[in-house]
Structure 1
């Protein structure tokens, strides 16, 4: 009789699956891509503490992140790209603020922004 009472317990314990047993292991962070993404999204240069928090990875490869950031910054801060951003009503990217010729780039973006604003009123 007491063996019959154990059957439900054995049945239930056999169905238990540890949720962490089959959890996928996270891929290592691509720090170059992370830096490129930050620059292209208009983010300013971030500290290692912030980068580690955002990517849930405390082993920040600052050198790779900065390489990717520089390439992304070069792309988004290109005068032609800034013209497109300005004409489409997008804000001036903070990732361009650290460039030595930021005043010229901002002036170009503002000119394009004003052109885009005028065009939107004419339609």
Structure 2
């Protein structure tokens, strides 16, 4: 009976083994639109194709989609109130906003926030 219980235990435990390849994700390629949005929101300047291929380990760069996403990220990020808050928090001016039309207004809002943020640090 002990042999039977031991054999049954071994069979049950081996049945609980998980195959590590069952749940592996499949590679679908890079979403260049999202990559552009993320770069612009993070404040990065536009990357060239070689840098993108190296960063995402994908030589098939879709430049048009990347630039569309980058423009969308700029639209979301390069706003005066966000630049002011970024300056207030002591963060640098985002390089992604250097190429927008109203860069001077955005930069002055950021500078105002940076000056106010530096003033509150000195008071503490």
Task: Tell me the TM-score normalized by structure 1.
Answer: 0.76
Cα separation, 2, equivalents of 1:114 and 1:93: 16
CA contact (8 A) 2:90 2:114 kept: yes
Structure 1 residue runs without a partner (length 5+): 1-21
Structure 1 runs of 4+ aligned residues shifted over 3 Å read 22-25
Give 1:50 shift: 1.1
CA contact (8 A) 2:81 2:109 kept: no
1:106 aligns to 2:107 (yes or no): yes
Give 1:103 shift: 2.0
Cα separation, 2, equivalents of 1:50 and 1:94: 16
Equivalent residue for 1:34? 35
Give 1:100 shift: 2.5
Aligned residues: 102
Cα separation, 2, equivalents of 1:79 and 1:34: 23
Give 1:24 shift: 5.2
Task: Tell me the TM-score normalized by structure 2.
Answer: 0.76
CA contact (8 A) 1:75 1:81 kept: no
Cα separation, 2, equivalents of 1:117 and 1:39: 26
Structure 2 residue runs without a partner (length 5+): 1-20
Q: Deviations over 1:6-29 (max 9, x none)?
A: xxxxxxxxxxxxxxxx57542310
